[in-house]
Structure 1
Amino acid sequence: MTGLEKGGRATVGGGPLLLGVRHHGPGSARAVRAALDAARPRVVLIEGPPEADTLIPLAAEEDMRPPVALLAHAVDEPGRSAFWPLAEFSPEWVAIRWAVEHEVPARFIDLPATHTLAWGKDEGAGERPGEGVGDGDGAGSDAGSGAGSGAGPGSEAGSGAGPGSDAGSGAGPGSDAGSGSGPDSDAGSESGPGSDAGSGAGPDPEAGSTAAPAADADVRIDPLAVLAEAAGYDDPERWWEDVVEHRGSAEGDAFAPFVVLEEAMGALREAYGSGGHDRALVREAYMRLQVRAARMEFEDEVAVVCGAWHVPALRQKTAVSADRALLKGLPKVKTDMTWVPWTHRRLSRVSGYGAGIDSPGWYGHLFAAPDRPIERWMTKVAGLLREEDRIVSSAHVIEAVRLAETLAAMRGRPLPGLGETTDAVRAVMCEGSDVPLALVHDRLVVGDVLGEVPQSAPAVPLQRDLDRIQRRLRLKPEALERELELDLRKETDAGRSRLLHRLRLLGIGWGEPAVSRGSTGTFRETWRLRWEPELSVRVAEAGVWGTTVFAAATAKAEADALGAQALADVTGLAERCLLAELPDALPVVMRILADRAALDTDVGHLAQALPALVRSLRYGDVRGTDTGALAGVAAGLAERIFVGLPPACAALDADAAEEMRRHVDAVHGAVGLLADVPAPRHGDLRGRWHSVLRVLSVRDTVPGVIRGRTVRLLLDDGELGQDEAARLMGLVLSPGTPLADAAAWIEGFVGGGSGGGMLLVHDERLLGLVDAWLTGVPADAFTDVLSLLRRTFSAYEPGVRRTLGELVRRGPGERRGVTAAGSGIPGFADGLDSARAAAVLPVVRLLLGLGEVTQGAEGNGVDNNLAGVAG
Structure 2
Amino acid sequence: MPATAAPAVFLGVRHHSPACARLVADTIRALRPAWVLVEGPADMNDRMDELLLGHTLPVAVFSHYRDDQRVATSWTPLCDYSPEWIALREGRAAGAEVRFIDLPAWHPAVAGHTDRYANRYADAEARYAEATRRLCEHFAVDCVDALWDGLFEVTGPGTDPQELRARLDAYFELVRGDAEADAADRTREEYMAAWVRAALARTGDRPVLVITGGFHQPALRALSARHGAAAAPAGWPAVPEPPDGALGGSFLVPYSFRQLDAFAGYQSGMPSPGYYQWLWEKGPPAAGQGLLRAVTERLRARGVPLSTADLIAARSLSQGLAQLRGHPYETRGDVLDGLAGALITDDLDRPLPWTTRGALGAGTHPVVVEMVAACTGEAVGRLHPDTPLPPLVRDVAAQLAGLGLADAATPVTLDLTKNRGLARSRTLHRLRVLGVPGFTRASGPAHGADPVFTELWEPGPAAGREAALIEAGAYGARLDDAAAALLGERTRAAGPELGALAGLLFDAVLCGTGPLCADLLTTLAARVGQAGDLGRLGEVLSAALGLWRHDRVFGVAGDGLLGGVVGSAADRVFWLAEGLHGGPGADLAVLRALAAARDALRHAPALLSAGPEAAAEAAARISRDPRAPAALRGAAFGLRWALGVPDDPGPVVQALAAAAVDTLGDWLTGLFAVAREEVAHGTTADGGSLIDLVDGVVSALPEGDFLVGLPALRQAFAFFPPLERERIAERLLHRRRLRGSARSLLRTPADPLLLARARALEENVTRLLDRHGLAAAPAPRPEVTG
Question: TM-score, length-normalised on structure 1?
Answer: 0.58
Instruction: Give 3-state SS (helix, strand or coil) of 1:28's partner.
Output: helix
Equivalent residue number for residue 218 of structure 1: none
Alpha-carbon separation, structure 1, partners of 2:670 and 2:583: 13
Alpha-carbon separation, structure 1, partners of 2:140 and 2:575: 78
Contact 1:20 1:261 in 2 (8 A): yes
Instruction: Give 3-state SS (helix, strand or coil) of 1:374's partner.
Output: helix
Instruction: Give 3-state SS (helix, strand or coil) of 1:415's partner.
Output: coil
Which of 567, 571, 581 does residue 512 from structure 2 map onto?
581
What aligned pairs does 1:478-627 form with structure 2 within 5 A after superposition? 487-489=413-415, 498-499=426-427, 501-502=429-430, 508=434, 523-524=455-456, 539=472, 542-543=475-476, 547-553=477-483, 574-582=505-513, 588=518, 608-616=539-547, 625-626=554-555
Alpha-carbon separation, structure 1, partners of 2:425 and 2:68: 31
**CA separation of 1:36 and 1:725: change in aligned 2, threshold 3 A:** farther
Aligned-pair RMSD on alpha carbons? 6.4
- The amino acid across from 2:128 in the alignment is S
Displacement of 1:258 in angstroms is 1.9
Q: Deviations over 1:471-498 (max 9, x none)?
A: 889999xxxxxxx987545999977753
> Are 1:307 and 2:209 an aligned pair?
no
What aligned pairs does 1:117-128 form with structure 2 within 5 A after superposition? 120=109
Which of 86, 89, 97 does residue 97 from structure 1 map onto?
89
> Are 1:339 and 2:252 an aligned pair?
yes
Alpha-carbon separation, structure 2, partners of 1:732 and 1:266: 78
Equivalent residue number for residue 423 of structure 1: 337
Equivalent residue number for residue 286 of structure 1: 194
Alpha-carbon separation, structure 2, partners of 1:518 and 1:590: 23
Displacement of 1:550 in angstroms is 1.3
> Are 1:666 and 2:579 an aligned pair?
no
Instruction: Give 3-state SS (helix, strand or coil) of 2:657's partner.
Output: coil
Displacement of 1:388 in angstroms is 3.4
Equivalent residue number for residue 367 of structure 1: 280
Displacement of 1:23 in angstroms is 1.6
Instruction: Give 3-state SS (helix, strand or coil) of 2:712's partner.
Output: helix
- The amino acid across from 1:21 in the alignment is V
Equivalent residue number for residue 146 of structure 2: 238
Question: TM-score, length-normalised on structure 2?
Answer: 0.64
Alpha-carbon separation, structure 2, partners of 1:603 and 1:454: 52
> Are 1:769 and 2:697 an aligned pair?
yes
**CA separation of 1:77 and 1:342: change in aligned 2, threshold 3 A:** farther
Alpha-carbon separation, structure 1, partners of 2:175 and 2:36: 26
Which of 707, 714, 733 does residue 656 from structure 2 map onto?
733
Q: Deviations over 1:132-185 (max 9, x none)?
A: xxxxx625x7x5538xxxxxxxxxxxxxxxxxxxxxxxxxxxxxxxxxxxxxxx
Displacement of 1:209 in angstroms is 2.1
Contact 1:343 1:448 in 2 (8 A): yes
Alpha-carbon separation, structure 1, partners of 2:506 and 2:655: 41
Equivalent residue number for residue 66 of structure 1: 58
Equivalent residue number for residue 116 of structure 2: 145
Q: Which moved more, 1:445-454 or 1:513-522?
A: 513-522
Contact 2:669 2:716 in 1 (8 A): no
Q: Deviations over 1:677-696 (max 9, x none)?
A: xxxx999xxxx999988995
Contact 2:103 2:188 in 1 (8 A): no
> Are 1:358 and 2:263 an aligned pair?
no
Alpha-carbon separation, structure 2, partners of 1:594 and 1:191: 37
What aligned pairs does 1:252-267 form with structure 2 within 5 A after superposition? 253-262=160-169
Alpha-carbon separation, structure 1, partners of 2:663 and 2:303: 56
What aligned pairs does 1:652-801 form with structure 2 within 5 A after superposition? 653-654=581-582, 661-667=591-597, 701=624, 705-706=631-632, 708-709=634-635, 730-734=653-657, 745-749=667-671, 766=694, 769-770=697-698, 772-773=700-701, 792=712
Structure 2 unaligned runs (5+)? 243-247, 349-363, 447-451, 682-690, 721-732, 750-786
Displacement of 1:289 in angstroms is 0.9
Displacement of 1:94 in angstroms is 1.8
Alpha-carbon separation, structure 1, partners of 2:68 and 2:649: 68
Equivalent residue number for residue 53 of structure 1: 45
Contact 2:274 2:376 in 1 (8 A): yes
Displacement of 1:92 in angstroms is 1.1
Instruction: Give 3-state SS (helix, strand or coil) of 2:279's partner.
Output: helix
Alpha-carbon separation, structure 2, partners of 1:592 and 1:443: 47
Displacement of 1:372 in angstroms is 2.0
Q: Deviations over 1:606-628 (max 9, x none)?
A: 8554421354479968xx54455
Equivalent residue number for residue 129 of structure 1: none
Equivalent residue number for residue 809 of structure 1: none
Alpha-carbon separation, structure 2, partners of 1:562 and 1:264: 45
**CA separation of 1:332 and 1:592: change in aligned 2, threshold 3 A:** closer
Alpha-carbon separation, structure 1, partners of 2:475 and 2:174: 48
Q: Deviations over 1:414-442 (max 9, x none)?
A: 33323333234335556648532343255
Which of 296, 299, 302 does residue 382 from structure 1 map onto?
296
Displacement of 1:343 in angstroms is 4.6
Contact 1:109 1:290 in 2 (8 A): no
Displacement of 1:53 in angstroms is 2.0
Alpha-carbon separation, structure 1, partners of 2:338 and 2:404: 41
Equivalent residue number for residue 835 of structure 1: none
Equivalent residue number for residue 726 of structure 2: none
Q: Which moved more, 1:319-328 or 1:369-378?
A: 319-328
- The amino acid across from 1:95 in the alignment is A
Displacement of 1:733 in angstroms is 3.3
**CA separation of 1:498 and 1:376: change in aligned 2, threshold 3 A:** farther
**CA separation of 1:637 and 1:319: change in aligned 2, threshold 3 A:** closer
Alpha-carbon separation, structure 2, partners of 1:235 and 1:652: 52
**CA separation of 1:104 and 1:337: change in aligned 2, threshold 3 A:** farther
Instruction: Give 3-state SS (helix, strand or coil) of 1:733's partner.
Output: helix
Alpha-carbon separation, structure 2, partners of 1:65 and 1:589: 42
- The amino acid across from 1:422 in the alignment is L
Structure 1 unaligned runs (5+)? 1-12, 121-136, 147-188, 201-207, 212-220, 477-483, 675-680, 801-813, 830-871
Aligned length: 674
Contact 1:111 1:283 in 2 (8 A): yes
Contact 2:136 2:143 in 1 (8 A): yes
Displacement of 1:14 in angstroms is 9.0
Displacement of 1:93 in angstroms is 1.0
**CA separation of 1:739 and 1:76: change in aligned 2, threshold 3 A:** closer
Equivalent residue number for residue 449 of structure 2: none
Instruction: Give 3-state SS (helix, strand or coil) of 2:481's partner.
Output: helix
Displacement of 1:58 in angstroms is 2.2
- The amino acid across from 1:314 in the alignment is R
Alpha-carbon separation, structure 2, partners of 1:462 and 1:75: 19
Equivalent residue number for residue 847 of structure 1: none
Displacement of 1:25 in angstroms is 0.7
Q: Deviations over 1:553-602 (max 9, x none)?
A: 4578799999999998887665333210235666x569969998999999
Contact 1:600 1:606 in 2 (8 A): no
Among all aligned residue pairs of Structure 1 and Structure 2, give the percentage whose two residues are the same amino acid. Answer: 19
Equivalent residue number for residue 21 of structure 1: 13
> Are 1:209 and 2:209 an aligned pair?
no
Equivalent residue number for residue 9 of structure 1: none
- The amino acid across from 2:15 in the alignment is H
Q: Deviations over 1:518-559 (max 9, x none)?
A: 99866246899997999789746534xxx3121354578799
Contact 2:426 2:512 in 1 (8 A): yes
Equivalent residue number for residue 443 of structure 1: 373
